[in-house]
A = this chain, B = another copy of it.
Amino acid sequence: MSALVLDIGGTKVAAGLVDGDGRLQYETRHPTPHSDDPEQVWATVEQAIDDALAKAGGAVDGVGVSAPGPLRLAAGTTSPVNIPAWRDFPIRDRVVAVVPDVPVRVAGDGLCMALGEHWRGAGQGASFLLGMVVSTGIGGGLVLDGVPYYGRTGNAGHVGHVIVDPDGPRCVCGARGCVEAIASGPHLAAWARTQGWMGADAKELADAAAAGNDIALRAFHRGARAIAAMIASVGAVCDLDLVVVGGGVAQAGPLLFDPLRAELRNYAGLDFVSGLRVVPAALGGEAGLFGAAALLRT
């Protein structure tokens, strides 16, 4: 099997080839155009497809697409928050048009990250897995009973919009108190600045915390606490065995994971939740490509 895989995001479009043993044999990346023209964004995706197809000798066995959401899975369309040019963009039909006569599977980027980690990364062996990313936003996906869980519209696993504080800050989604509005990288940094910290972003905040800066440490603890409450909630509802956390903020390592695990002990009261393990992701930015390939395995 040779799968052509795409991972489309707000900053980059990646394409690759994954063989039947789950090895990434080729990868190419292009910056996502900042454009109001949906066709200009598509042209970049098509270029990435052409690159990978040429590398494969013109033929592949299927195409897996990790797409930013929200999606309408039944229609095969997406309206990505961070690609404003695409509204109900028919991503599946457009891919089918350039790679005809093979299966084309589309899923949300959160689900693809979870599937990739489940197949080839830190989630191997888990049967009930939440894969999640903490970066400029917070997203995720669920593997339940060993298979991807899509939900009614293909948008299951939007864990960034679990409410962790009913009086909390307004979120981009329109609600308030979403964990994303508290614990995403930009919100961690913004909160630290309200406390007198002078840095620019979550990366600098992690450096400051690593150097012992008190405000930065408290910012990570505050974010970790919100994420822990969310994980306890998802654990109680979905009865999981593992949570895999990736994304830029998770690269802070123990600065995030130590308070996260400590707070999870406070918020996970029920026996079947309190044993829930939380581990760092293993695949980095390539999880989505592996997950897109995994879409073709079920």
Contacts and interface: CB of A to CB of B under 8 A. Distances in A.
Interface size class of A (residues with CB under 8 A): 35 or more
A236 B229 CA distance: 15
Contact of A151 (B161, B230, B232, B239): B239
A153 B236 CA distance: 11
Contacts of A45: none
A238 B237 contact: yes
Contacts of A151: 128, 144, 238-240, 272
A165 B164 CA distance: 6
Interface in A154-185: 154-166, 171, 173-178
Contacts of A174: 269
A136 interface: no
A270 interface: yes
A270 B70 contact: yes
A127 interface: yes
A128 B151 CA distance: 7
A227 to B, nearest CB: 11
Contacts of A164: 163, 166
B163 A233 contact: yes
Given A70-B272, A158-B237, A162-B236, 6 more contacts: A144-B144, A155-B239, A158-B273, A161-B273, A173-B270, A174-B269
